[in-house]
Amino acid sequence: MVYHPNPGRYETMRWRRCGRSGLQLPLVSLGLWHNFGENSQPENCRRLLRRAFDLGITHFDLANNYGPPPGSAETQFGALLRSDFAALRDELVISTKAGYTMWPGPYGDWGSRKYLISSLNQSLKRMGLDYVDIFYHHRPDPNTPLEETMGALDSIVRQGKALYVGISNYPAELARNASQILRKMGTPCLIHQPRYSMFERTPEQGLLDVLGEEGVGCIAFSPLAGGLLTDRYLNGIPADSRIASASRFLTPDNLTPEKLAIIGQLNDLALRRGQKLAQMALAWVLRNENVTSVLIGASKTSQLDDAAGIMNNLIFSEEEKAEIETILGGNSLK
C-alpha cells in the first residue's frame, strides 16, 4: 500500500534548535539500535517508521554497527527509505555513526581517518543515500590524535557526504576540545549524543554546561534506562521484555529491589501528573534547555504514541523536581 503521511504531522510535535545551528530537531527522535536487524519483521519496521513520521518524528538515528548483525539496520532502513520515503527525503534528518568494530584488522574500528571515511562510504551504500544529515564519531579513540578524527569529520562535510557532524560518548573536556578543533576548521560540531536518564546523570557533571558554552546541541540516548523507567517491570518481568530476552545491555541484575522501589515511587508521581512513567522520564530529560531531543527505541507503535504524548505535559513544578531528587536519592543509581 502506498504511504500517504499524516498531513497534520507538524501540528503537534515541538522542536528545538540544535545548539547555535539553523537545524531544528523534534523533541522526540527515533533510534534504530534495536528492532531493525535481520531478525526484525520488515512490516513491523515499516509500521514503526510510518507511525513515527505521522507523529512528526522526523529524525531517524542509526550507526554502522546497529543490527544485529552490524550493518543490517542501515540495510533495512535503506530499503524502507526507498519504498516509502523516497519523495520525503528532504523532510527527514538521517544520522549514522562510526567508532565501534565493523570489520577485522586495524582499519575497522575506532577513529582513524581511514576507518571513518571508509565506514561512512559503506553506510551510504547500505542506505542508498548520497549523504546523511548528521555523521557522528561514536566514541573517543585513546590512540588516534583528536585532530585526525576531527579532521576526518571536517573532510566528510566538505566532500558533501554529511551536512553536519557530531560526537557521542565524549566526556566533558574532550567534547570541548573536539568542538574547538572543529570550529577552527570551519565545520562546527552540531551535536553530542550522551547516555542520559534519571538513572544515568553523568552529563550533569559538566558535559551539559560545556555543550551550552560551546553552542553544541545534545540528544540523549537511553533516556528510559533501557526500559527500566517504564511501568513494564512493576509487576514482574514480562516474557517479551528485553530483560527476559537475556539482552547483554539489560539483565535481571539491573532490577534490584531498591531500584524497583524507586521505579514504583516515580510511577506514583507520574500518575499524579497525568502521565505514564515513561512519559515523565522523557520530559524530565528535556527539562534542561541544553537538551535538544530525546532518542527513543520502539518495538510497537503504541510506544511511539506514548512518547509523542509528552508534548501535553513537559513542565515540572519546583515541588515535583524536589520530589524526584528525593526519590532518586541524589545519586542517580549509577
Answer yes or no: is 3 within a domain. Answer: no
Overall number of domains in the chain: 1
Asked whether residue 138 carries a pLDDT value surpassing 90, the answer given is yes
Q: Is the dihedral of CA 105, 109, 110, 114 positive or negative?
A: positive
Answer yes or no: is 56 within a domain. Answer: yes
Instruction: Read off the pLDDT of each residue in 128-143 and give the average, rounded to a whole number.
Output: 98
Answer yes or no: is 241 within a domain. Answer: no
Asked whether residue 239 carries a pLDDT value surpassing 80, the answer given is no
> Alpha helix locations (H) across the chain?
9-12, 42-54, 72-84, 113-127, 146-158, 172-185, 207-214, 257-272, 277-285, 301-308, 318-328
Instruction: Read off the pLDDT of each residue in 126-130 and give the average, rounded to a whole number.
Output: 98
Tally DSSP H helices, then E strands, for the chain: 11, 10
Asked whether residue 133 carries a pLDDT value surpassing 50, the answer given is yes
Whether the full predicted model's pTM is greater than 0.85, yes or no, is: yes
AA letter at 293: S
Q: Which domain holds residue 24?
A: 9-228+279-313
Cα-Cα-Cα-Cα torsion 220, 51, 133, 87, nearest 10 degrees, comes to -170
Mean pLDDT of the chain: 94
Answer yes or no: is 218 within a domain. Answer: yes
> In this predicted structure, what is the pLDDT of residue 333?
45
Answer yes or no: is 274 within a domain. Answer: no
Instruction: Read off the pLDDT of each residue in 209-216 and give the average, rounded to a whole number.
Output: 98
Answer yes or no: is 320 within a domain. Answer: no
For the segment 240-282, what is each residue's pLDDT rounded down to a tens digit?
555 545 555 556 667 889 999 999 999 999 999 999 999 999 9
> In this predicted structure, what is the pLDDT of residue 33?
95
Instruction: Read off the pLDDT of each residue in 127-156 and give the average, rounded to a whole number.
Output: 98
More confident residue, 257 or 23: 23
Answer yes or no: is 323 within a domain. Answer: no
For the segment 280-332, what is each residue's pLDDT rounded down to a tens digit?
999 999 999 999 999 999 999 999 999 999 999 999 999 999 999 999 995 44
**CA of residue 2 relative to chain centroid, distance:** 28
Q: Measured between alpha carbons, how far is residue 58 from residues 90, 117, 191, 327 in Å?
A: 10, 26, 16, 34
Asked whether residue 234 carries a pLDDT value surpassing 80, the answer given is yes
The 10 Å CB-count burial string (b at 16+, else e) for 185-198 is: bebbbbbbbbbbbb
For the segment 160-172, what is each residue's pLDDT rounded down to a tens digit?
999 999 999 999 9
Q: Domain holding 97: CATH number? A: 3.20.20.100
- Give the SS3 label for residue 255: coil
Answer yes or no: is 238 within a domain. Answer: no
> In this predicted structure, what is the pLDDT of residue 94?
99
> In this predicted structure, what is the pLDDT of residue 334?
42
